[in-house]
Amino acid sequence: MINFVCILLFICLPTLIFAQRANTFVLGSLSTPWRYGGNGIDPKVFNNGKIDTTNSPDYSIEYDRRPGWITPLYFDSGENVSARVLSGGGSITSPDLGFLFNEDLFGMVNQSPTVAFTRKPTPFEPEVNARNVRVVLDFNTPIGVERVRFYPRNTIVQTPTHPFQNDFLRAFELWINPKKTSIVTPDILLVRNVENEDPVVDVKVPPQYVRLLKLKSLANIPFEIDEIEVYGTGFLQRATYLTDIIDLGERATIGPVRWQEEAYGDSAFSSLTARVRTGLDSTPLSYNRVERGVDLNGNPIRTYIDIGPDAFFAMHFLDRGPIFIDEENWSTWRPIGNGQIITAPTPRKYVQFQFDFQGELFRTREMEQFEFDFLSPPLADRVVGEVFPRLMSAEEPATFRYAARLERYRDVDGNELPIYGYDRLEVDTNIKVNEIREVKLDGELIPYLVESVNEEGFVISFPIITHDMAVLEFTFDLPIFRFGTTFTSRVLNSMAPSVPQRVESGNAIDFGPGDDAALSGLAVSIPKPQIGKLVGEISVSSKLITPNQDGINDQIDIYFNILQITESAPVAFEIFDVSGRAVYTVFDSDLGIGPANFTWDGKEGDGNVLLPGIYVWSLRVESDAFDEVHMGTVAVVF
């Protein structure tokens, strides 16, 4: 029988600020269509030396295939996609000739019937080598291809002023590659013809993804190519959508994000993932001026000063420094799931989301309306929580003390910034609690109500808390503590229940002897034989992975415990082949003390399953004093 001691009568403290309800941001509606990114501040992505301000930096998103939805770009049969090499990070080159022929190379993919790539004698160059000349089309993002056609001028399009229809390739090879060329991913020969007699070469391709297409001449016979046409099919393998930088008006608490998605084709072969970052200003980039000087030894030094985009582009280019990601005012990208609270720092005024699609030619994901509720001003500027003790024996009853401290910031004049405050707390426990007791605010008992208790956690409510450095404390009992866990928590205001605010793990209060402030947080571990100074138990569910979608060993589960770090530290779990080449990073992010769980499905970054073989996994934890690395092996078999 569950025994709860609580006081049901509250003293209500209403204020005018409660009159406001949460706002809702919606993207994908009639008023805020996907095409316009949310009617906010244009995205800013620094890529290949340029700043891209589009919502799809690689032009990979389809807006019109299904009204109100976005998908990876889709190509109908018969659509020439060769011009995509001129955008989205693609390129067309001739490694044997260099950049001086760029205009002619671009002419092969821009549907101009008069500009051609030529290897023919001229009065200025009477002897021209035409053998082993390569033309390489790199689409950057793999694209579905079903047909390739190339030809000289005055063939497909009649251009009597350029009668060069007989200057076609007499001998050639056509190669393709779904990835970058390497020892592991060599080019694939599609066709080899040493006795070609057709001015228009038309090659059927079994539908497949192609990143690189390489055409190579084999004979020292002058030739020209007016156009190389590549006919696409199906969805892009990868696609990215960036929202605008969303201005919430002022610092705000952001509630759980939610969206609708559907699988096109078998859902096992596609995915949709989301990331979020938050900022204190309107641009995530840092535009720097170069300051030149000398150190104490007379050696030249350079320093960089962020001056903003307007001043940066107004100054002489020789005085410009590099453009960086603004890590001081913007968070890193953090993963976020459908229905989850963001883990990026909040409250903040600016937020941006990124959605990444992964799939196959005729299997992908479609995304409809995206939305979230937000509350401005926020519930609090910061809520810090911790539990004690943080080391507990397994399979025994357990009692924990919990504390959450409210922090409220001030403006430049020393005035407290407005907040809503909170009157509810949700705590995740993974097992049903026996009792919640001794609920205090700043050391004094207060009335409270246990609103709900279940196997996942509990919710308690209490009079509204709004003052700076207010500490809420209580004790709770578990019937049995089975495994290490983090008691993730959220505070809420009953006037805006759709906008919870995450409780940050940290040092909220001094619980007395044994409470090391440097190790404070919401994580509790089970004593186990320690295998390192920074890492406790490491568990990889299997040494064998068979990623064939049969439900057996399709993925491995990775569990480990971080110990003895005083603040979040870089942690990476990487996969290497036996030569030592990194093939995939399962995760690479900052983690705090406590347990962590991840999975890997045997695929590398582009979504393709790794080749069968033995691979080495590496878990690296970095600290200020030293790095700790643990390694093991896993076999990919199918």
**What does the pLDDT read at residue 484?**
67
pLDDT at 10 over 60: no
Give the bridge partners for 569, in sequence order: 591
Per DSSP, the three-state class of 482 is coil
Compute the average pLDDT of residues 594-607.
80
Query: Beta-strand (E) ranges in 218-319?
Result: 223-225, 227-232, 234-235, 238-242, 246-264, 271-279, 285-294, 300-306
Sign of CA dihedral 70, 76, 79, 81: positive
**What does the pLDDT read at residue 527?**
66
Nearest to 159 by CA among 105, 211, 121, 113: 113
pLDDT at 11 over 50: no
Q: Provide the 8-state DSSP code for 513.
A: T
Per DSSP, the three-state class of 27 is strand
- Between strands 535-540 and 556-562, the pairing is antiparallel
- Between strands 504-505 and 382-388, the pairing is parallel
Q: Provide the 8-state DSSP code for 322.
A: E
Instruction: Give residue 533's pLDDT band: very low, low, confident or very high (50, 70, 90).
Output: low
Mind giving me the DSSP string for 124-141? Answer: TBS----TT-EEEEEEEE
**What does the pLDDT read at residue 154?**
95
Tokens of 187: 């080019």
**What does the pLDDT read at residue 577?**
81
Q: Are the C-beta atoms of 88 and 141 separated by less than 8 Å?
A: yes
**What does the pLDDT read at residue 564?**
62
**What does the pLDDT read at residue 485?**
79
pLDDT digits (tens, 9 = 90+) for 53-84: 899 988 899 999 998 999 999 999 889 999 99
Query: Beta-strand (E) ranges in 152-225?
Result: 172-177, 188-193, 201-217, 223-225
Tracing tokens 């906008």 back to the chain, one arrives at 499
User: Taking all residues of the chain, what is their mean pLDDT, rounded to a whole number?
Assistant: 88
Instruction: Give residue 2's pLDDT band: very low, low, confident or very high (50, 70, 90).
Output: very low
How much helix, strand and coil, in percent to the nearest 5, is found in the chain? Answer: 5, 50, 45
Angle, CA of 38, 40 and 42, to the nearest 5°:
105
**What does the pLDDT read at residue 555?**
87
**What does the pLDDT read at residue 531?**
45
Per DSSP, the three-state class of 16 is helix
Helix (H) or strand (E) holding 411: none
Q: How far apart are CA 92 and CA 72, in angstroms?
A: 23
Least confident of 14-23, 247-256, 332-341: 14-23
Q: How far apart are CA 541 and CA 545, in angstroms?
A: 10
Least confident of 97-106, 200-209, 300-309: 97-106
pLDDT at 156 over 90: yes
pLDDT digits (tens, 9 = 90+) for 333-347: 999 999 999 989 999
Cα–Cα distances (Å) from 192 to 93, 229, 530, in that order, read: 21, 18, 60
**What does the pLDDT read at residue 43?**
92
**What does the pLDDT read at residue 558?**
87
Nearest to 275 by CA among 266, 284, 286, 267: 284
**What does the pLDDT read at residue 561?**
77
Tracing tokens 């045997």 back to the chain, one arrives at 602
**What does the pLDDT read at residue 13?**
39
pTM for this entry: 0.78
CA torsion angle for 405, 517, 453, 255 (degrees, to 10)? 50
**What does the pLDDT read at residue 535?**
77
Compute the average pLDDT of residues 451-465.
96
Instruction: Name the percent of the chain lying above pLDDT 70.
Output: 92
pLDDT at 297 over 80: yes
pLDDT digits (tens, 9 = 90+) for 109-147: 988 899 999 999 988 888 889 999 999 999 988 999 999
pLDDT at 18 over 50: no
Compute the average pLDDT of residues 8-18.
40
Domains of the chain by start residue, with CATH: 22-72+239-375 (no CATH), 77-232 (2.60.120.260), 384-524 (2.60.40), 535-636 (2.60.40.4070)
Compute the average pLDDT of residues 573-599.
83
The one-letter amino acid code at 214 reads K
Instruction: Give residue 528's pLDDT band: very low, low, confident or very high (50, 70, 90).
Output: low
Nearest to 347 by CA among 269, 418, 254: 254
Count of residues for the chain? 638
